[in-house]
Amino acid sequence: MTPQLATLLVACQDRKGLVASLAQVLYGHGANILDSDQHTDPVAGMFFQRLRFDLSSLTTDRVSLEHGIKEVGERFAMSWTLSYVSRMPRIAVFTSKQEHCLYDLMIRHRAGELRCEVACIISNHADAAPIAAHFGVPFHHVPVTAETKETAEAAAHEIIEAAKVDLIVLARYMQILSSAFVAKYPSRIINIHHSFLPAFVGANPYKQAYEKGVKLIGATSHYVTADLDQGPIIEQTTIRVSHRDSVEDLVRKGRDLEKRALAQAVRWHLEDRILVYAGKTVVFD
């Protein structure tokens, strides 16, 4: 039986009475708060909160509860989202020829680590078709060239909408999405970049790291924006390297970092732990 749980995420200008007002509206409708986490940015003067609560003891109904939250939201000029555990989020995974992140996500999903439905896998190459078949996920081969990019993105958009996808995960998808495509899914596309951003943006970051003789390499998961590799950072992982490591060594070591950073970011998004503001994130981990 699916637990009757919900998560409320809020963000607004910091002021007195926020925590009390939110707690009061939930209490007034019979909801039982199970977990509460909050953060205040003193520089931006912003308040953020994540509330996880039990709905089984509601004395009203969900419509009334949402109306009560809306009233508090309007009073404090809050942006807020309310999600229910009973609704399973659906994701689409975009990939190219490098399959390690795709495999990792699918294995974690099968193991129950990622609470979602994998609606489809989309790739500009056919290589991932056997992986999709193995895990029983619909596969769509959407080739992309400079001449067909707009048509390909239109086809991908049609697939995503038909599958009712909530989140797009770029698991080493080696194509740059257009700003028009990205604009359709604000804070709903997660990418893994194989460097410790903001260092080594763009192509061949491991080669760039090798040429600079860095002592740490990393991987960064972030929301995708129109600016390449500049979206709000969700998670970063690192490992020490040395002068003995070749480019191939960096690539090998980096693959583990990429898998971990991407899976963590996807998990936090699915669990409604992330708030985006001012080009960065608050992650209630």
DSSP string, 100-112: HHHHHHHHHHHTT
Considering the domain delimited by 5-84, tell me its CATH architecture. Answer: 2-Layer Sandwich (3.30)
Same fold, 5-84 and 90-283: no
Q: Is the pLDDT of residue 1 over 70?
A: no
With vertex at residue 52, the alpha carbon angle to CA 33 and CA 34, rounded to the nearest 5 degrees, is: 40
Give me the mean pLDDT over the 118-138 stretch.
97
Number of Cβ within a 10 Å radius of residue 278? 10
With vertex at residue 126, the alpha carbon angle to CA 99 and CA 98, rounded to the nearest 5 degrees, is: 20
Q: What is the pLDDT of residue 216?
A: 96
Q: How many CA atoms lie within 13 A of 43 on its CB side?
A: 2
Q: What is the pLDDT of residue 223?
A: 98
Give me the mean pLDDT over the 109-115 stretch.
97
Q: How many CA atoms lie within 13 A of 60 on its CB side?
A: 15
Give me the mean pLDDT over the 23-45 stretch.
96
Give me the mean pLDDT over the 155-174 stretch.
98
Which tens digits make up the pLDDT trace of 35-80?
999 999 999 999 999 999 999 999 999 999 999 999 999 999 999 9
Task: Give catalytic residues, as residue numbers.
Answer: 229
Hey, which residues does 274 pair with through a beta bridge? 283
Contact 257, 238 (CB under 8 A): yes
Query: 56's torsion region: left (phi>0), alpha (psi -120 to 50) or beta?
Result: alpha
Residue owning tokens 């699916």: 2
Q: Is the pLDDT of residue 207 over 90?
A: yes
> The tokens of 24 are what?
């009061």
Q: How far apart are CA 164 and CA 141, in angstroms?
A: 18
Q: How far apart are CA 199 and CA 207, in angstroms?
A: 12
Q: How far apart are CA 108 and CA 92, in angstroms?
A: 15
**Average pLDDT in the chain:** 96
Q: Residue ranges per domain, the chain?
A: 5-84, 90-283
Give me the mean pLDDT over the 251-263 stretch.
97
Residue 236 vs residues 60, 86, 100, 166: alpha-carbon distances, Å? 42, 30, 17, 23
Give me the mean pLDDT over the 134-139 stretch.
98
SS (H, E, C) 176-213: CCCHHHHHCCCCCEEEEECCCCCCCCCCCHHHHHHHHC
Q: Please report which confidence band the pLDDT of residue 2 belongs to, taking 50, 70 and 90 as the band edges.
A: low
Number of Cβ within a 10 Å radius of residue 103? 16
User: Helices (H), strands (E): how many in the chain?
Assistant: 8, 13
For the chain, percent of residues with pLDDT exceeding 70: 99
Contact 198, 122 (CB under 8 A): no
Element spanning 91, H or E? strand 90-95
Considering the domain delimited by 90-283, tell me its CATH architecture. Answer: 3-Layer(aba) Sandwich (3.40)
Give me the mean pLDDT over the 198-213 stretch.
92
Q: What is the pLDDT of residue 203?
A: 83
Contact 92, 159 (CB under 8 A): yes
